[in-house]
Amino acid sequence: MKLDPTKMQDWQVAEAAEENMRPLEELTSELGLAYGEMIPMGRTLAKVDYAKVLERLKGAPQGKYIDVTAITPTPLGEGKTTTAIGLIQGLGKIGKSVVGAIRQPSAGPTFNIKGSAAGGGLAQCIPLTPFSIRLTGDIDSITNAHNLAMVALTSRMQHERNYDDARLAKSNLKRLDIDPDAIQMKWAMDFCAQSLRNITIGKGGKMDGFEMESGFQIAVSSEVMAILAVSRDLKDFRKRMGKIVVAYDKQGNKVTTADLEVDGAMTAWMVDALNPTLMQTIEGQPVFVHAGPFANIAIGQSSIIADLIGTRLSDYLVTESGFGADIGFEKFWNLKCRMSGITPNAVVIVATIRALKMHGGGPAVKPGVAMDEAYTREDLGLVEKGCENLVSHIETVKKSGVKPIVCVNSFYTDTKDEIAIVRRIAEQHGALSAVSRHWLKGGDGAIELAEAVVQACEEPAGEFKFLYELETPLRDRIELIAKEVYGADGVSYSDDALEKAKKLEADPETSKMGTCMVKTHLSLSHDPELKNRPTGWTLPIRDIMVYDGAGFVVPIAGGIKLMPGTASNPAYRKIDVDVETGKVEGLF
């Protein structure tokens, strides 16, 4: 069956492609996995025993490492995962040994507006349904492990209120004296549910829990997800799980999961989740799926474990980092690479003519609303003006010492002259450029991009350098990121955030942690309405969280929330099941 994405929806393309999927045994043979390193999870999915692979390949040469990032997107997204999958397929077309490492989608966007993040058209990761719903259970495990910490916290608070010290001692408990106004966690669920952002729990009598203000965050923003993304092995993971700060006591001291004696049980939920899931592209290249999305409210990276095994099992490992280079690549650069010790050979910046026109002053782009005709007719002025945003991202990547490649993810409405402007400006600012039509043509449409990536990888490497050293004080780091990456004039702090920053800088345990910024992905600034490359603004830090287990200090800029909301026309309205075959329809 000929796959034509212009006449088929993404789920129909995926369903047709799944009829010719490569058997798991064939994939694992191509990867060179030894007996026992594949853990079958049904007919089409498997996990890979990372510990066995890393032990066997200790000291093996490392393949080329490519990150895919993007310009500041429209609310529709600009096809970053689609481009990553297309690049994997393109490298396969030119005879390269290649593996992908991408993030597992959250059910929040899958059933809301953005969709599954499996790619699109002829550049997809399959099988689509399990990729989009449940997969091999990692996010369910994260949700349960996270909520177990909340169970331990709230039950402990109830018992400490109801029991005296003698009664606590009979249960071998020491009074933690938790401050109900200093709780650092919320409950987790993997949907967008704005009505659960702020709730009151413990209503009823004294046996019904401790009454207090609480709420929910989306599961993929959990620190447990961040720990999964940055851990190198189970031993490292177990150590980090005991450091999660769930609250502070009334004297201002940390109360951790280890203090609640729940860290071991939380880890028990997560043992299997440390093994990446093995999937494949439509064209049969292997892809590891591990860890989660949302670089605006989380680290937004696939796992270090997947990168460690992928770079040893192939000549090229293609991964992606969430949203634009200002947040996704910045975290890849200064957090993930620092923790993994792996440095990239090339970075792809995905751009679309659509997004560049928006940044150049085009009409607002809104999910569920028909695109204005400005986005389908030629407008060289809008494109050129919008390239200011692209240049900002090129400059960010170059500050790391890595060669950027600007990929124009081409839509059929793009004109030759519009694309030529983007290529000219990219090359004027020190980037390679390529046009890719992977959505329409699969790997064949991504050959130019694949060849540009190979060229960048084969050129003499520049010196990879971080934006800041860990000895840099927290507020200086935040200012560096704000000025050098976002383009702010400076940083302001709420009274609460300033007090926390000073306390963290004085604490030797947290003063050398990484900095994981939380801000909107829809602007270089904190304000999603400020498009292109805004100037004359100050980054407002309204709060600072601490992820001791992950090793991050988390400054929160602007009004961003850890629990997104569901829109008025969500994707779940279009998703259904064929009752004759049991196949899921309508995913995108």
Question: Coil, strand or helix: which one is 230?
Answer: helix
pLDDT at residue 369 above 90?
Answer: no
Query: C-alpha 85: how far from its chain's center?
Result: 16
What average pLDDT does the segment 466-490 reach? 97
Q: Which residues contact 263 (CB under 8 A, 6 or more apart)?
A: 238, 241, 242, 244, 256, 257
- DSSP state for residue 338 in the 8-state scheme: H
Report the SS3 class of residue 476. helix
131 assigned to some structural domain: no
Helix/strand/coil for 248: strand
The answer to whether position 395 is within a domain reads: no
Residues of the chain with pLDDT > 90, as a percent, come to 88
Residues 345-368, mean pLDDT to the nearest whole number: 94
Which of 208, 243, 272 is the C-terminal boundary of a domain? Answer: 272
Domain for residue 562, yes or no? no
- pTM higher than the cut 0.85: yes
Burial of 366 (C-beta count, 10 Å sphere; 0-12/13-18/19+) = middle
Is residue 187 in a domain? yes
pLDDT at 569 over 90: no
Catalytic residues: 80, 82, 103, 114, 295, 323, 411, 439
Per-residue pLDDT band for 368 (boundaries 50, 70, 90) equals confident
- Per-residue pLDDT of 156-211, as tens digits, reads 999 999 999 999 998 899 999 999 999 999 999 999 999 999 999 999 998 999 99
Is 130 a member of any domain? no
The whole-angstrom separation of Cα 542 and Cα 556 is 6
Number of domains in the chain: 2
Work out the burial of residue 546: count CB atoms within 10 Å of its CB; fewer than 13 is exposed, 13-18 middle, 19 or more buried.
Answer: buried
Among 240, 272, 304, the domain boundary falls at 272
- Boundary (domain end) residue, out of 272, 291, 313: 272
- Let me know if residue 512 belongs to a domain: yes
Which CATH number covers residue 217? 3.30.1510.10
pLDDT band at 117 (very low <50, low <70, confident <90, very high): confident
**Per the domain annotation, does 574 fall within a domain?**
no
CATH number of the domain to which 520 belongs: 3.10.410.10
Q: Convert the pLDDT of each residue in 522-564 to its tens digit.
A: 999 999 999 999 999 999 999 999 999 999 999 999 888 889 9
113 has pLDDT over 90: no
CA nearest neighbour of 51 among 231, 321, 269, 320: 231
pLDDT at 1: 59
Contact 189, 196 (CB under 8 A): yes
What's the pLDDT at 43?
87
| pLDDT tens profile 231-286 | 999 999 999 999 999 999 999 999 999 999 999 999 999 999 999 999 999 999 99
Distances (CA, A) of 473 to 253, 470, 506, 546: 21, 8, 9, 15
Name the token pair of 503.
Answer: 């306390």
What are 207-226's pLDDT values in tens digits? 999 999 999 999 999 999 99
Look up residue 64 and give its DSSP letter: E
Judged against a pLDDT cut of 90, whether residue 131 lies above it is answered with yes
Q: 169 in a domain, yes or no?
A: yes
Q: Distance between CA 38 and CA 258 in Å, rounded?
A: 33
Q: How far apart are CA 534 and CA 524, in angstroms?
A: 7
Mean pLDDT of 9-15: 91
Q: Which range marks the domain in which residue 482 is found?
A: 474-557
